[in-house]
Amino acid sequence: MALSRKQPGPPADLLPGCNALDTMIAMCAPKTLLSVSLQSSPDAVRDVLARVAQTVAAAGQNPTATNNIELAMAEALNNVVEHSFHETAKGQILVEITLDEDVFCISIRHDGTPMPGMRLPEGRPANVGVDSANLPEGGFGWFLIRSLVLDAAYTHRDNWSELVLRFARLPEG
């Protein structure tokens, strides 16, 4: 059986108005799946969490992994509302989800108070080996987030903080 070779030349499916390099860059660039702005309130967070879950599920994420993303996002967004805006609805939060090959990259940007020390907490597990009266109030959230993500990064510049969480895309099957 003879193999036929395609003649060299530009791809037939160039994006309108783009050359081959621009088309290749666009094809390889992460795809933005969701970009949304919300006020710093628990109700707004709840609404966005539903959209996050719908978005990653529509991109082929299996139900368990979708729930894990929603759980990590709930913890992160509620931390922003509680600690960066001190539970007032005076701030702006921007959430963007991109898909780059098999990784969901979720960015949470806000104009509230930055992280203490301008860095992420370590996320060590809280000491639960004490009687119930001495259990810690907090310390569980960042341990939970770090256990669900591939990695996390934080930056603060120009009065904006950005938390980027990356999750593996785990399709059904």
pLDDT in tens, 132-161: 776 666 667 899 999 999 999 999 999 999
* Residue bearing tokens 């940007």: 109
**Count of H helices and E strands in the chain?**
4, 5
Confidence band of 23 (pLDDT split at 50, 70, 90): low
Does residue 3 register a pLDDT over 90?
Answer: no
What domains does the chain contain, in order, with CATH numbers? 32-168 (3.30.565.10)
Q: For the chain, percent helix, then strand, then coil, each to nearest 5?
A: 35, 25, 40
Q: What is the pTM of this model?
A: 0.79
Residue 82's CB is within 10 A of a number of other CB atoms, namely: 14
Burial 54-78 (b: 16+ CB within 10 A, else e): ebbbebebeeebbebbbebbbbbbb
pLDDT in tens, 39-81: 999 999 999 999 999 999 999 999 999 999 999 999 999 999 9
